[in-house]
Structure 1
């Protein structure tokens, strides 16, 4: 391969470029990114950067040395509009195109929006964060729709700025579908202990200048509204590519599409193992997939398969939440240090006599030890 196009200039795309060089590829690498910015890290956008305590420069994923050693051909501020495999071409929104012998799809996704919430903020890009940060002036009332990781982190940051915050969540408890009811109750407690007005089991209708209107006709007054209701994989540009898409770009267990010269990684990758499809929207996943996808791309076939660690972390208020593994709702939960009422504890999930997941609140040392020992063999999910 003389040239490889990496479509998507966030973490997954950067890790793919780094892996290409690390695995000995010395051809051309074109990094295509819709945003005009050089690649940057997203997790701080809802935390320190939103709070104004982290500088813009701290987000950069590539330093001067990286830029020199990777020798990337950047195409920033333009979108890939299609994939033409037969002509080995990636057309761009500026009218140009990139010829490539191999393609890494790392386009991630866009923040999901809600009908009737056109005036609300979302948080996916650095420009989103800057716009939201400018709106968080002293005295404003903030309503956050969605109590997932992004919503909880935004609420936490707003409370650290001394703002009144209400969080509106459709589930009975925040993150209940991920953590189960007992640990989800811990997340709810974090909100309540830090003065956030958490309202679960509510349905929203729309927003206006007055705030958020609920399905029951009531109004939650707010000056700033933020929706954190997930993301939609960016696959529209692949409509006529011949690739299978639907909740992401479908791949085999090695992140290879139907075309061996095209792989997908990160939030957009919907990979299949034993007939089941999976897609993860986590920082660690985007980083961990790159070595496997790149090895298979360079080999021209699936020589390696991907096994996710399932590691996720979230900083909320005074708590650092860490999760690893692949627990199911019916797995047995037990507390190995502390209990759910503690400010620091570790819990594990058991299935058929094996540990399949580890969760910790403010106990990174024990969490990391159990993660290394108990989850040495990946769980089957």
Structure 2
């Protein structure tokens, strides 16, 4: 079934790409535009369950609105870095996390779990407008995160992040610092270290698996809008992401099936491996799998690729099992030629280092 959906998504993508398209992804109000009031329900703290309008409440103060369409493990460091910076600059900077979900009942259970797992200090809320978010904001649901940074109710910076990660932190922190007059904002690593010291968390400790299972809905091909140049650009990006996501899931499923057979030889009769069997295997570690998905994104630049690979090396360092999973995972995606040419070269270098 996934193979059929990949073919369908690829076919529509090919048709969409017949018209000129750019890599730029748009989501939410752009720099220079006004932020307008919208309603949310507070999910945590003493005000849990109450409706609020932070645009009105903050009265034009410097603010970062973090719109969250879905949560993946690879993006959590960025969320916590933004939260920590806002906490340290709370006298001059406001921050609000706005989750977007069409199922208000289930979201009411999942979102507090995510907030508790990440120990977010800023208000954590749910948009009353469902998965699309505030109607006049034009949020792109293919972006896991949209950060709208505003002062005097006018947008000063916008970050539409399809596959967000810690590599996005320097640009975000620079934009926040520029808005509040902080010429030398701390780097992401310093913020993470201070946060861990404050909260008593172990370095690199991942959040609980159950809290990390919020994912954006699968792309509905029938609802793509190709009626304008801007909509076409968004559709091309969405289709590209869908093809990559489905291929990764298919590879992971094949890897899991192969892994099960290896662990249980009695599950099937002994036979020679087929000539067409893929090398390597999908990682079983959730965090490694998310890093692998981040690595194969076709829109990654060199800095993003380098950041993902560094995160992998830091994560598996000294752990034989994780190192083997990383080697197997990268061998597979390199064989399939997923990702950019630069990613292929750097990924192979990492594999070679791990094999020494």
Q: How does the TM-score come out when normalised to structure 1? A: 0.28
Greater RCO between the two (CA within 8 Å, min separation 6)?
Answer: 2
